[in-house]
Structures are given as structure tokens and as C-alpha cells.
């Protein structure tokens, strides 16, 4: 049996400043090319899990481990995890006035590659990715997320995903704040990026609702409550949650 791409073992984590425990024994395995969705209500620990995977300094791991390609990443800085192939799409992408998307992407790509990409090669690459995502080339000249709508911010995250080509994409509530049209556009972008990787890129979708899973079909769905994964199943589990609600999940936890 192949080693999982990402393996989370009995992970406990707390807010570093207050010592408040958020993750209380998370176990999860993700194989190469798989799409996993984590669903749960507010306060269940979903976004905290995404940040701990990426190495956010506001959280401290107190027990357990995170293995990426069989190696613990707990002692790695966020940039080292990014270089290793872990990408985090933020729920609330930050604005960077004065820095164009093109310059931001070129700097990120140079950092990942460890060498400077030729400006013409970069332009060709960015143009091809934007064409794939049906994006206007003018978009790349705008300042990063400055004055962007919610949908534009999320589309910018997908462009970054396409350019950086990670091995694991962690999407933290990418559907948050999107209307149905923007949701379709962003979901289609994720699917296109996944297809271009010929199924080797794994995706971890973190969401409250089933609606995004109407456009991105997960291989596995996990229910998270009180800092733990309490149940896992196939795509049908998301539909069951949509029908029965999280109170049903809470009753499962207590049973």
C-alpha cells in the first residue's frame, strides 16, 4: 500500500498566545491525487487545521504529528512547507497595495524554483494559465487583492495555485462569501488546475456547506466537530449532512 501524501496523527494544537486548545486529536490521511472535503460548523477547528498544516505561527502543536511524504514537517517554517509543495488558499486573502499580481507571482515562482525565471518565459507561462482559467490578462496588472470583490480575491488564489503547481492544495473555505456565479467560476478553476496536473495534485477542501461539492466531487468527506474528525465517508456523506444538519453529526459523536 502506498504511503499517504499527507498523514496527520493524533494532532493536538492550541492558540499560542492563550493556550486554548482547538485541535484535540485529529487523524487524517490524504493520498496523491485525492480530493478530500472537511465539513463542520463554526468553531469545529477546520480553519485551524489548515493553518497548522501550513505552519501558521499563531498556533502551537502540543501533541501528534504531521507527515508529508513520510517526513514530519512540524519543525519546518511556513516557507519550507510551501517549497515542499503545500499550498494554502486563504479564507480572507490579504490586500497588498502597490504590488501587482504579475510581480507577486514572479517573485513567488522565483522563490519556489530557487532561481530567477526569464521574464519572457514567465509572461508566456502566466498568459497560458490565465487563458486556461478564462481570465483577462489585464487582471495581472492590478495590485494584489486591492479593491477586489470576494470573487476576484478567490480567483486570484486559483491563479496562484495554477502558477505554483503544488502537490497539496489546502483550500480554506474558498466558497466563503461567493455568490453562485462566482462559486461556479472558482470551482471550475480548481477543477482545471487539478486536470492539468494529471490527477497527481491532492486537494483538501474546507467548507461549511455542500454547495461547493456540487461542482468539485470529493473522493472522501470528513465531518469535524470539537477539534476532531468524528466521521468519514464518500461524497454521499456531504449530501447526508446537507439533509440532516450538524446536529445529527453531534448525536453521532455522543452515541
Residue 216 region by backbone torsions, left for phi larger than 0, else alpha for psi between -120 and 50, else beta: beta
Residues 147-190 pLDDT 10s: 998 889 989 999 999 999 999 999 998 888 788 888 888 898 88
Residue boundaries of the structural domains of the chain: 6-92+167-254
**pLDDT classification of 195: cutoffs 50, 70, 90:** confident
CATH architecture of the domain with residue range 6-92+167-254: 3-Layer(aba) Sandwich (3.40)
Residue whose entry in the numeric block shows the C-alpha cell 466521521: 231
Q: Crossing angle, helix 150-164 and helix 180-196, to 10 degrees?
A: 0
Q: What is the pTM of this model?
A: 0.91
110 C-beta neighbours (distance < 10 Å), count: 13
Give yes or no for a contact between 104 and 112, defined as CB atoms under 8 angstroms apart. Answer: no
Average of per-residue pLDDT values in the chain: 91
| pLDDT(204) > 90 | yes
Residue 78's pLDDT is: 94
Residues 214-244 pLDDT 10s: 899 999 999 999 999 998 999 999 888 888 8
Residues 67-91 pLDDT 10s: 999 999 999 999 999 999 999 998 8
Amino acid at each position: 500500500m502506498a504511503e499517504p501524501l499527507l498523514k496527520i496523527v493524533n494532532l493536538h494544537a492550541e492558540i499560542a498566545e492563550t493556550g486554548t486548545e482547538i485541535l484535540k486529536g485529529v487523524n487524517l490521511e490524504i493520498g496523491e491525487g485525492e480530493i478530500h472535503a472537511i465539513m463542520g460548523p463554526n468553531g469545529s477547528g477546520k480553519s485551524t487545521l489548515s493553518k497548522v498544516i501550513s505552519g501558521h505561527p499563531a498556533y502551537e502543536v502540543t501533541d501528534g504529528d504531521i507527515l508529508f511524504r513520510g517526513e514530519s514537517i512540524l519543525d519546518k517554517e511556513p516557507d519550507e512547507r510551501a517549497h515542499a509543495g503545500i499550498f494554502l488558499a486563504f479564507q480572507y486573502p490579504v490586500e497588498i497595495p502597490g504590488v501587482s499580481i504579475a510581480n507577486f507571482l514572479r517573485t513567488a515562482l522565483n522563490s519556489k524554483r530557487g532561481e530567477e525565471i526569464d521574464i519572457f518565459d514567465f509572461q508566456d507561462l502566466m498568459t497560458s494559465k490565465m487563458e486556461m482559467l478564462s481570465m483577462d490578462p489585464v487582471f495581472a496588472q492590478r495590485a494584489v487583492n486591492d479593491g477586489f470583490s470576494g470573487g476576484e480575491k478567490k480567483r486570484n488564489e486559483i491563479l496562484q495555485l495554477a502558477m505554483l503547481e503544488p502537490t497539496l492544495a489546502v483550500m480554506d473555505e474558498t466558497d466563503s462569501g461567493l455568490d453562485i456565479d462566482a462559486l461556479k467560476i472558482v470551482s471550475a478553476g480548481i477543477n482545471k488546475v487539478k486536470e492539468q496536473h494529471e490527477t497527481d495534485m491532492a486537494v483538501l477542501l474546507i467548507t461549511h456547506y455542500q454547495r461547493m461539492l456540487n461542482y468539485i466531487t470529493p473522493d472522501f468527506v470528513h465531518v469535524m466537530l470539537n477539534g476532531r474528525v468524528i466521521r468519514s465517508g464518500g461524497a454521499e456523506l456531504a449530501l447526508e449532512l446537507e439533509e440532516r444538519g450538524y446536529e445529527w453529526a453531534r448525536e453521532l459523536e455522543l452515541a
